[in-house]
Amino acid sequence: MMISRIATAALLTSALLSPVFAQADKSLAARIQRLEDVEQIQRVLLDYGRSLDAHDFAAYSRLFAKDGEWVGGFGSVRGPAAIQAFMEKNIGPISKPGATYHLLSNFEIDVHSDTATVWSRWAYVIPGADKKPIIAQGGHYDDSFVRENGQWKFQRRVAVTDVPHFDPNEKNAQK
């Protein structure tokens, strides 16, 4: 009789807590997915800087969605092939590897299922007259990401130069 009551209580408790455990599993899975998404987006941001500094515009362009857009001081362009050609034309081949580079920081990543927004800072470093590194320009990126075929890609990347000021979104923007 006592065993029957214990078994009944255990079954009842199990039945009542089952949805709680299922919800906890879903919540845990969602949190893990978000962390994985943030990590993958950070990797795209770092790969962007690495391929930009190496002037590897083929790899650079593959970071953009099929209808992805780049907007910045050179103008705007849409689609990976067009982005590659645009960067090759405006930046060209690397003259001295490592002579200039970008510092990327302050990633603020907000994931919403299969889309995300990101804000980050950038600084462009060049050699000064004394051959020591100096920051020639600084700014920020306003990004929209999309998950395309299971991979995070830039949907839209807007490069804003804060110092000296140049916002490609402003009307009549002057370089």
Tell me the per-residue pLDDT of 97-138, one tens digit each, with 9 for 90 and over.
778 999 999 999 999 999 999 999 999 999 999 999 999 999
For the chain, domains (ranges, CATH) are: 2-163 (3.10.450.50)
pLDDT of residue 20: 56
> What's the whole-number mean pLDDT along residues 133-146?
97
Q: Which residue has the tokens 């140049």?
A: 166
Question: Token pair for residue 141?
Answer: 């990126």
How much is the pTM?
Answer: 0.79
More confidently predicted of 175 and 78: 78
Q: Before 133, cis peptide (omega within 30)?
A: no
pLDDT tens-digit map of 2-48: 677 776 666 656 665 566 555 666 788 999 999 999 999 999 999 99
Q: Please name the residues in contact with 140: beta carbons below 8 A apart, sequence gap of 6 or more.
A: 119, 120, 121, 122, 160, 162
pLDDT of residue 166: 72
pLDDT of residue 168: 78
The amino acid at 126? I
More confidently predicted of 15 and 74: 74
> What's the whole-number mean pLDDT along residues 133-156?
97
Q: Which residue has the tokens 């050699």?
A: 127
User: Closest Cα partner for 159 from 112, 108, 104?
Assistant: 104
pLDDT of residue 169: 79
Nearest-angstrom CA–CA distance, 74 and 54: 19
The number of beta carbons lying within 10 Å of the beta carbon of residue 115 is 13
Q: How far is CA 96 from CA 10, 92, 118, 122, 136, in A?
A: 72, 12, 31, 21, 17
User: CA torsion, points 135, 38, 154, 172, in degrees to nearest 10?
Assistant: -50
- Interstrand relation of 75-78 and 115-127 (parallel, antiparallel or unpaired): unpaired
Nearest-angstrom CA–CA distance, 63 and 50: 12
